[in-house]
Amino acid sequence: VTFIDKMLPKCDPSDKEGSLKLLEDLINNAAGIQQQVLEEILNRNSNTEYLRGFLNGNTDKKMFKQKVPMVDYEDIKHYIEKIANGGASDIISAQPITELLTSSGTSGGQRKLMPTTAEELERIVFFNNLMATVINRYIDGLDKGKGMFLMFIKQEIITPSGLVARPAMTSYYKSSHFKKISSSYTSPYETIMCLDSKQSMYCQLLCGLIRRDEVVYIGTAFASVFLRAIKFLEEHWQEMCSNIRTGNVSDWITDKSCRSAVMNILRGPNSKLVNLIESLFHVKSWEGVIKKLWPGAKYVYVILTGSMAQYIPMVDFYCGGLPLVSAGYASSECYIGLNLNPLCQPYDVSYTLIPNMAYFEFIPVDKNGEAEGLVGEAIDLVDVKLEKHYELVVTTFTGLYRYRIGDILMVTGFYNNTPQFRFVHRRNVVLSIDAEKTNEEDLQNAITRARSIIEPLGCFLTDYTSFPDISSMPGHYVLYWELKTRGGEALPELRSTTLEQCCYRVEESLDYMYKKCRSEDKAIGPLEIRVVKYGAFDALMDLFISQGSSVSQYKTPRCIKSDEALQILNARMVASFFSQNTPTLEP
């Protein structure tokens, strides 16, 4: 029995009892499996240039933890670039590196190249089957129809070595495995493979409308992409209805494969269908529109954890009470964990790390992601403590050793003695003017409290970002807010005092150090909210996509560092408001 057979046993979601037993066995034996994973990785790769430099062929776990340093991307970048430029895979991996995966660059502020191997696809398939097993445990009948899951690919780059560099989701969607299972979705394979994201979006949504009676679940990878799809539907539903009425696709859909695939689904005019869906679109409010358009949908798959949590009210508004499922936790580096209670409330999602995906370590940190004690100290998966914060470190089968992903997690509980984690925020995504540090979670919590002022007025905060403005003294926090009414109007009319109250509510919700710097030391100026036109964050997304980010993996950056991005937002600013009071400094 090979290691791959032993560690990635067959997982068939249709065999509910067998696959659930497999999942339980994995979780119940996490400590032993983690030990086996590390042993296998070290035995395979001990003679690589990278590990040999630290261990000289030794495969002992204690030596590994003592000698191999924990690293960031900058520490290993030159090894990966060496391979991209023609160097041998055994610089970091005994297995051939088959391609390089590009991260989105929107969560941590930097695009990265991550090595991967042919074997990794088997691990991804195994993970996805486990995820399906968990969902099938709670939701019946998913095998009776199709998923309307919106998927997009990005143009790949050929590196000097001949290796392909592309986003992780593009790699998966272009795999032979995905092509085999693509018929389980409403989107024809050709529409997913279309490189023009606008044509792809249009055709996938159109096919979803035509096949509405077959849909059993709906989704996108991230909430930001889901809401972009709804906005796209708002702008194009009349054209789509015209296509269904005439039985022909719009002339601007010029991708031949894409066009042909959609025409095969249209199969002539359908006035009965178009009359029905037109009546659902042509309403004052789109509240619950997803549930109405796709009445057979049992849930919505969309990641709503971390920075995506701010979209929960809007996604829920459009979905009309359908369960919102954040099922999995993954990164460009490796697949990580599953939500074993997928029907929980979005704010309560925790992930159980799957022990055969990689070797996991945890650096104890405070809630801001600052290391407690020596940075060189990291503990194993089964040694973490309840309610403590940790930074995740991974050693993968693909050539990453003690790599700091940059995710800050908090232990929320245990499942059969295996810890469960809440994703808190990304490391280093902070606002700072003086001595204070405001992390992503603190900012999001403060904005959540502030938007409670405008929500009773029928107003949604559709998206936000921030930056520390130090162009004047003292510097101050700037928040960019995009607003929309429940009735669909792009920009609601709000009194200036209302937004000023929002500014003050944010400041009141930040920590003691911020309020001390703001109120006592006068080192920080009044917080500012800049309201931007509806669609400004679409323009921001378009900028990052034009610079190489993938539509499927895009996440709105919560702290802007790019001058070009700031120019886009400032050019679409319609009003600016400042806090009129200093926050209370509690004793």
Is residue 37, in this structure, part of any structural domain at all? yes
Kindly state whether residues 472 and 555 are assigned to the same domain. yes
What Cα–Cα distance (Å) separates residue 196 from each residue in 254, 256, 434, 573?
10, 12, 44, 29
Residues 527-558 have pLDDT tens digits of 999 999 988 999 998 898 888 777 777 888 88
Pairing of strands 146-149, 215-222: parallel
Q: Are residues 382 and 515 in the same domain?
A: no
Q: Which of 266, 294, 322 is the last residue of a domain?
A: 322
Domain boundary among 374, 391, 426: 426
Same domain, 436 and 543: yes
pLDDT band at 308; cut points 50, 70, 90: confident
Buried b (16+ CB within 10 A) or exposed e, 168-188: bbbbbbbeeebeeebeebbbb
Cross-strand bridge partners of residue 389: 365, 410
Interacting residues of 432 by C-beta distance below 8 A, sequence separation 6+: 438, 468
The larger pLDDT score, comparing residue 315 to residue 1, is at: 315
List beta partners, residue 414.
419
Q: Using alpha carbons, list the distances in angstroms from residue 139 to 25, 298, 426, 504.
A: 22, 8, 32, 44
**In the predicted model, what is the mean pLDDT of residues 466-487?**
88
Tell me whether residue 457 is in a domain: yes
Asked, for residue 586, whether it belongs to a domain, the answer is no
Q: Give 34-58 as a DSSP string.
A: HHHHHHHHHHHHTTSHHHHHHHTT-
- Domain count along the chain: 3
Residue 532 in domain = yes
End-of-domain residue from the set 402, 426, 450: 426
> What is the pTM for the complete model shown?
0.83
Burial class (CB in 10 A: 0-12, 13-18, 19+), 2: exposed
State how far the Cα of 30 lies from the Cα of 134, in Å rounded to an integer. Answer: 18
Task: Say if residue 354 is in the same domain as residue 464.
Answer: no
Q: Looking at the structure, do residues 111 and 157 belong to the same domain, yes or no?
A: no
Whether residues 435 and 420 share a domain: the answer is: no
Same domain, 189 and 287: yes
Lowest mean pLDDT among 205-214, 348-357, 515-524: 515-524
Looking at the structure, tell me whether residues 436 and 411 fall in a common domain: no
User: Percentage of the chain surpassing pLDDT 70?
Assistant: 95
Question: Is residue 464 assigned to a domain?
Answer: yes
pLDDT tens for 456-474 read 888 889 999 999 888 888 8
pLDDT of residue 3: 47
pLDDT band at 354 (very low <50, low <70, confident <90, very high): very high
Same structural domain for residues 283 and 341?
no
Are 436 and 511 contained in the same domain?
yes
Q: Which residue range(s) make up the domain with 457?
A: 429-578
The CA distance from 156 to 506, in Å, is 42
Give the integer Cα–Cα distance in Å for 261 and 546: 27
3-state helix, strand, coil in the chain (%, to 5): 45, 20, 35
| 585 in a structural domain | no
Q: Is 435 domain-assigned?
A: yes
Whether residue 567 sits in one domain with residue 463: yes
Beta carbons within 8 Å of 518's beta carbon, 6+ residues apart: 507, 524, 525, 526, 582, 583
Q: d(Cα 57, Cα 46) in Å, to the nearest integer?
A: 5
Could you tell me how many residues make up the chain? 587
Instruction: Find the range with the poorest average confidence among 81-90, 216-225, 480-489.
Output: 480-489
Mean of the per-residue pLDDT values for the chain? 89
283 shares a domain with 227: yes
- Please check whether residue 11 lies inside any domain of the structure: no
- Specify the pLDDT at position 448: 92
